[in-house]
């Protein structure tokens, strides 16, 4: 939904197999039979996703359309966000067996490629979030958020921009702390992939590796660092409060724009459900 324009969603979704393949290849430099296996897996994933998850998106969009004309509560915002998160976790669970099968085939050079790709993306992340000073970082966040919100509401007026400015100015977001968790997840991922690729064969290898992958996903969503879990929860609640406050400041015309945008997304997803 952060994509700019409903037509973009259709183009990206219909080409998602190729896009995800190129993304994965950029990390692992897929080789030999891994290439066709990955393409076949992504084709099946999209078929499943059209049948199982797009209907969930349509139902959620319908509910959001009934919410949009009214004032909303932070609890409602959090509930929608949690539903989206749950949908993504179900996708990860569905793709778990073939993911494990592919990871078991990765060689040491491919794992080094993954580590190097992490380092490259970290450099970009630091340029965006760690290198700027606090004032520059706030301007960047406000600019990003304004652009995304105006895709749904149309142009925000000054009082609404002030609300957004206050929301982000008072945010508990700590880039250094977030970056430390990012590095922890990446190190955890590399270590887990190495174990999965190096474990010996046997009848229980797939089952054992699935357990390793499942535990990795759990740690990615629920950090073993208790302080980071508390920090994430605080940020989550702040964003629910901030979005509800901003939405409640919008005009009837802006809310209708939101309804119309959501309805367009619904129509696109409904069409995508019927395509092969």
DSSP string covering 55-97, please?
A: HHHHHHHHHHHHHTTS---HHHHHHHHHHHHHHHHHHHHHHHH
CA 221-222-228 angle, to 5 degrees, is 115
pLDDT at res. 4: 47
Mean pLDDT over 202-231 rounds to: 92
Q: Does any domain span residue 1?
A: no
pLDDT of amino acid 198: 83
- Tell me if 182 is assigned to some domain: yes
Integer Cα distance of 245 and 146 in angstroms = 14
- The tally of domains found in the chain comes to 1
Tens of pLDDT, residue by residue over 51-70, are 999 999 999 999 999 999 99
State yes or no: pLDDT of 46 exceeds 90: yes
Say which DSSP state 199 is in: S
pLDDT confidence of residue 201? 52
Q: Is the pTM of this model over 0.75?
A: yes
Rg of the chain on CA atoms, in Å? 21
**pLDDT tens-place string over residues 21-38:** 999 999 999 999 999 999
Checking if the pLDDT of 236 tops 90, the result is: yes
Domain, as residue range, for 152: 6-274
pLDDT digits (tens, 9 = 90+) for 130-142: 999 999 999 999 9
Residue 39 lies in a domain: yes
d(CA 101, CA 98): 5
What is the C-alpha to C-alpha distance for residues 257 and 68, in angstroms, rounded to an integer? Answer: 9
CA 174 distance to own-chain centroid: 19
Distance between CA 162 and CA 68 in Å, rounded? 21
pLDDT digits (tens, 9 = 90+) for 151-167: 999 999 999 999 999 99
């Amino acid at each position: 939904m952060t994509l700019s324009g409903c037509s973009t969603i259709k183009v990206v979704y219909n080409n998602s197999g190729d896009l995800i393949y190129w993304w994965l290849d950029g990390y692992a430099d897929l080789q030999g039979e891994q290439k066709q296996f990955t393409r076949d897996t992504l084709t099946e994933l999209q078929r499943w996703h059209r049948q199982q998850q797009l209907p969930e998106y349509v139902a959620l969009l319908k509910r959001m359309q009934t919410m949009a004309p009214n004032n909303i509560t932070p609890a409602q915002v959090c509930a929608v966000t949690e539903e989206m998160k749950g949908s993504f976790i179900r996708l990860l669970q569905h793709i778990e067996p073939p993911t494990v099968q592919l990871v078991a085939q990765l060689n040491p050079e491919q794992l080094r490629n993954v580590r190097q790709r992490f380092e490259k993306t970290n450099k970009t992340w630091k340029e965006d979030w760690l290198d700027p000073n606090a004032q520059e970082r706030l301007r960047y966040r406000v600019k990003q958020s304004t652009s995304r919100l105006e895709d749904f509401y149309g142009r925000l007026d000054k009082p609404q921009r002030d609300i957004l400015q206050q929301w982000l100015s008072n945010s508990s977001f700590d880039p250094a702390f977030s970056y430390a968790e990012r590095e922890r997840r990446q190190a955890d991922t590399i270590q887990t992939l190495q174990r999965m690729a190096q474990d010996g064969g046997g009848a229980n290898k797939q089952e054992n590796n699935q357990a390793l992958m499942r535990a990795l996903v759990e740690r990615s969503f629920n950090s073993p660092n208790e302080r980071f879990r508390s920090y994430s929860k605080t940020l989550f609640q702040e964003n629910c409060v901030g979005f509800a406050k901003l939405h409640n400041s919008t005009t009837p015309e802006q809310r209708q724009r939101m309804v119309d945008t959501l309805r367009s997304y619904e129509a696109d997803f409904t069409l995508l459900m019927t395509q092969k």
